[in-house]
Amino acid sequence: MKKFRVGILGATGMVGQNYIRLLNNHPWFKVTYVAASANSAGVTYFDSIIGRWQMATAVPKDTRSLIVEDVANINKARKHCDFVFSAFEMPDKSLVKEMEEKYAAAGIPVVSNASANRFTDDVPMLIPEINPHHIDIIPIQKKNRGWKKGFIVVKPNCSLQSYITPVFALTKAGYPVEKIFITTLQAVSGAGYPGVPSLDMIGNVVPFIPGEEEKTEEEPLKILGEIKDGKFQKAVYPAISAHCNRVPVIDGHLACVSLKFAGKKPAREKILKIWKEFRALPQTLKLPMAPEQPILYRNEHNRPQPRKDRDREKGMAVTVGRLRECKIFDYKFAALSHNTVRGAAGGGILNAELLVKKGYIK
């Protein structure tokens, strides 16, 4: 098949670099356009990331010679892209929101990692295994804005993706969850590069990440919600209380979760069976970035661990362990996801694959 031409906004940052790495040799997508701030524009991609490339693999040959463009030059992007991944951030979120809307208005679909549009009423916040039907709002979004070809789809914050799929699997199987108490242990790569200063992190844990607890508590309610009267209505449950901590780990967000069911409490063996058998639309469609088994369970008493489990299923699976009864709620467990793959660029690629398969990106 002829590959879709892909642009990456914020291509020099950590998330942008992961897009470049993961899209190398992708069967459907080819990176044809890279953009960043005006300060980074005007040189080759290879020259722009000298001393800043953080991936374990080399810069792909096809990308090295691409000229970095100013992210504000939307007219040039129109000539080279069928759609774009938005991986750039600014201190003023309204500027990111405005820029993404300008791309969509220009007829360019935007698959975003940024937080600016996550709670926009008619923008779906997508995890394809959980809420693929939320893309049904795209025609409404386009009608609301007068957009013909362009639209915006976002992915959620990386902090919640280690636990929301196992929770959703239980709800889907008929065991809705009422309350969750969660403590996240989040890798330093979640802060980008250069990120958290080494003197803050080496031999240390920082029990505060700006905005993370609010995102962890609120974003799942939109993901688990429904479309009503042309906009998203948040779910009432589960109620979530979160502690978010930065830990001296490079990649891999770990969550310690305690949950209480709204009704009948399933047996432990039933939960394990539900997780093992859970499959969803990305697996049915055999999307290239989709994990074959979205939820993996480790029986060892000391797993999952970031270094040993984060890369399973191309870095796209959630690895769960230590399921046991809780003396306050019903059960507790530990869950791990790769924050810069599943939680960032890989999740964005999976979203784009779903949009292609459903005919929204053409």
Rounded Cα–Cα distance for residues 179 and 238 (Å): 5
Asked if 170 contacts 274 with a C-beta cutoff of 8 angstroms, the reply is yes
Looking at beta carbons, which pairs linking 147-151 to residues 24 or more positions away fall under 8 Å?
A: 147/104, 147/105, 147/107, 148/107, 149/107, 149/108, 149/109, 150/103, 150/104, 150/105, 150/106, 150/107, 150/108, 150/109, 150/110, 151/104, 151/109, 151/110, 151/360
User: What is the number of other CB atoms lying within 10 angstroms of the CB of residue 21?
Assistant: 21
Active site (annotated) includes residue 158: yes
The yes-or-no answer on residue 244 being catalytic is: no
Question: Which is catalytic among the residues 134, 158, 244, 338?
Answer: 158
182's CB contacts (< 8 A; 6+ apart) are: 163, 216, 240, 241, 242, 243, 255, 256, 257, 258
Catalytic residue among 81, 134, 244, 253: 253
Distance in angstroms (rounded) separating the CA atoms of residues 354 and 258:
32
Side chain identity, residue 32: T
Residues 297, 362: contact at Cβ < 8 Å? Answer: no
The residues assigned a catalytic role are: 158, 253
